[in-house]
Amino acid sequence: MGECLKTLYVPAPRKLDRYRDGDYLYSFQLQKLQDYSPELKTVRSKSLLFDLRFYTRLALTLGRRRIHLPVPRKWAWKLSEFYRMPSAGPEIERADGILAYERYPVNADRPVIWIAGALDIEKMRRRGSPEREIQEEMDFKREANAKAAATVLTTYSKKRLFDEAVRPSKPTQVIPFLQPIEPIVADDFVAKWRTVPPIKLLFIGRAAKRKGLPLALEAYKILQRRYPGKVTMHVVSTLQDGFVEIPELPGLVHEPRVSHARAIGMMATSHYLLMPSEFEEYGWVYIEAMAQGTIPLAADSATQRELLDEGRAGWLVTRNAEAIVEAVASGIEAPDSARALAYRALEHWRTRYAPEIIAKQFAALAHSSLG
């Protein structure tokens, strides 16, 4: 095994446990690749100066965003930028290559596997991004792709956007996000789907409005009238993007936040995850639901069609309450069909998104691109 082992350096600071932003956390998740592949070892920097620079810029960025501090844009931390990683230390000296997420280490002296973000120009324009910023991001991605030994996108829909907008000089490829989770135990899956109804619905999302909580609640009201006593709903949300009234209805519970471990446990006992978002860059929670034998329900969009295997591993619906009602009603009126869909979702996770599958793809890429 030692002859084929590849060591990947993941530039990341020491972790703050209470900061839960997904893009921030992903570098730490990448460090767990070695837990799932005997061909990979991951190391990270141990530079206090790097940590100080990183968290100072992050604090300035949060201040600029949340309390509107007059922080110049060039001082703010962002995903699409070149930066200087620590360039010395035994952990770096042992590395065969660098595994970088979004930001690109401009002083890298080893081959870089770069996990890039898509460039959705139309979405940036809808959000009011100036053409200058769009061009800056395009230039950054084009240059980073030219420097990288390999460029990875996390979905085929993102790859298409990247290739069309950036016109990269080197080919790109797709490896989904690594999500280090364990699947539901087989006996627990059987027990959960043997005891329906009641159907247990779950909503998890800080940005409740964007993620479709008002639609999910409206659907729950209809389901309560149509199937009294046969459906419950648990909502986990801080209502981060605006107040949403949580009505007092039978079987409806609301919690502002739970730990990630408890969220996974709640999925393992739920039948449907309802998250009909206006948009999702990816949607980690859909993948987590599939791993727990829970049917994910998502709005029908390109990325979610890909994640849910064109509807073979979950429900893809138009964004209205009646469409959600009909999806959940099938679980009440045709439980065998719903159970089969949940099982297909679980099997899709095993073959496409399980961490062992993702680690195997990264190992193969490391051997082909790092020599």
**Residue whose pair of structure tokens reads 């793809």 in the numeric block:** 361
What is the mean pLDDT of the segment spanning 269-290? 96
**Sheet with 272-275: strands ordered across:** 252-255, 231-236, 199-204, 272-275, 295-299, 315-317
213 shares its domain with 311: yes
65 shares its domain with 77: yes
310 shares its domain with 262: yes
Residues 6+ apart with CB under 8 A from 266: 202, 204, 234, 236, 258
pLDDT of residue 86: 87
What rounded mean pLDDT belongs to the chain?
94
Percent of the chain with pLDDT over 90: 84
Range of the structural domain that residue 329 is part of: 186-352
> Half-sphere exposure (CA, 13 Å, Cβ side) for 23?
12
- Tell me the CATH number at 303: 3.40.50.2000
* 296 beta partners: 273
Of the candidate ranges 7-16, 20-29, 41-50, 71-80, the one whose mean pLDDT is the lowest: 71-80
pLDDT tens per residue across span 127-162: 899 999 999 999 999 999 999 999 999 999 999 999
- Cα–Cα distances in angstroms (integers) from residue 35 to residues 180, 183, 349, 356, in the given order: 9, 16, 18, 9
21 shares its domain with 152: yes
pLDDT tens per residue across span 291-329: 999 999 999 999 999 999 999 999 999 999 999 999 999
What is the mean pLDDT of the segment spanning 93-114? 94
pLDDT of residue 1: 42
Burial class of 264 by CB neighbour count within 10 A (0 to 12, 13 to 18, 19+): middle
17 shares its domain with 80: yes
Query: Do the beta carbons of residue 362 and residue 195 sit within 8 Å?
Result: no
Residues 6+ apart with CB under 8 A from 180: 29, 32, 35, 36, 355
- Tell me the CATH number at 159: 3.40.50
Helix, strand or coil for residue 225? helix
12 shares its domain with 153: yes
pLDDT of residue 2: 45
- Nearest-10 crossing angle of helices 321-333, 213-226: 50
Cβ-count burial 289-300 (b if 16+ within 10 Å, e if not): bbbbbbbbbbbe
222 shares its domain with 330: yes
203 shares its domain with 236: yes
151 shares its domain with 226: no
Sign of CA dihedral 26, 28, 31, 37: negative
Helix, strand, coil content of the chain in percent (nearest 5): 45, 15, 35
pLDDT tens per residue across span 202-252: 999 999 999 999 999 999 999 999 999 999 999 999 999 999 999 999 999
253 shares its domain with 191: yes
C-alpha triplet 344, 350, 356: angle, nearest 5°? 170
Q: How many domains does the chain have?
A: 2
**Confidence check: pLDDT of 30 > 70:** yes
359 shares its domain with 334: no
pLDDT tens per residue across span 32-80: 999 999 999 999 888 999 999 999 999 998 888 888 888 887 778 888 9
* 234 beta partners: 202, 253
Q: Could you tell me how far CA 56 lies from the centroid of its own chain?
A: 25
216 shares its domain with 320: yes
